Each structure stands twice: as C-alpha cells, then as structure tokens.
Amino acid sequence: MDKSSKPSELYQRIWKIINQIPEGKVATYGQIARIAGLESNARIVGYALHSLPEGADVPWHRVINSGGRISLRKDNEYYHIQKALLENENIVFNNEKIDFKLYGWLL
DNA sequence: CTGGTGACCATTA
DNA sequence: TTAATGGCCACCA
C-alpha cells in the first residue's frame, strides 16, 4: 500500500473505524485492530484512543477489551464516563461485563 | 538508533 | 480470582 502514510494517519484510520460502530453496539480492541490492518496490534488501538483529543466525534466508549470489560481501572475517571455512556445506549452491564452475544459489533 | 511506556491479548501459576 | 510474563508494535524523549 501507500508508504506515504503518516503515523497520525494510523490514528485517523482507527478513529474512523470506531466512528462506524453503530449505536447500541460495542467492539473490541482486537476487532478494530484487525479491521485497521493491525492484525496483532490491539495495543496501538488503545494507544490511539488515549491520544484521542477531547470533544472528538468518536464513540470511543464503544471500544472495550476482549473480556467485554472496560480496560481502565475503577479509579480512572474515564471508567465511569464510559460506563455511563454505554448505559445511555441501552447497553447493559452484567457484573461489570458486556455480553457480545447481544451487543457485539458485526455479530 | 535506544530505551521506556502503553485505554491489549494470551498463557501460566 | 489476581499477578506476573512474553509478545506485538507505535509513539515519545
């Protein structure tokens, strides 16, 4: 592919994919990484999310880890924000976990 | 280029 | 269940 891709473009690509996640659905870092062409680089997705600017039109809260859980710690401010946003989309937490059978993207 | 870090993942104990 | 380890690769100083 084009090697003129700038490093930041990778983030843009990841954010764009996340932006395609419909309301009421969730996706894992691994899923997004695979779609973005980063087969085994789920960490990059997380890194891109942490680098995400405030006020961005990206539903980053719909991105969770492989266990269907929020990767952040409970003492982290964003943990509560993400949980609140997800619940706002009719997504139900089952003991701090999300059921992919019901809310999994592309599923 | 080197070293450190990370909103991950899977395995092992 | 939690904790530690290795692997993967991009970003930053």
**Nucleotide with C1' nearest the A29 CA:** B8
Q: What is the C-alpha separation between A31 and A60, in angstroms, rounded?
A: 14
pTM above 0.85, yes or no: yes
Q: Which nucleotides of C are covered by protein (CB under 7 A)?
A: 7-12
Q: Which residue is nearest to nucleotide B10 (CA to C1')?
A: A66
Pair A24, A102: CB distance under 8 Å: no
Mean pLDDT of chain A: 90
What confidence tens digit (pLDDT) does each residue in A61-94 have? Answer: 999 999 999 999 888 889 999 999 999 999 999 9
The Å distance, CA of A90 to C1' of B6, is 30
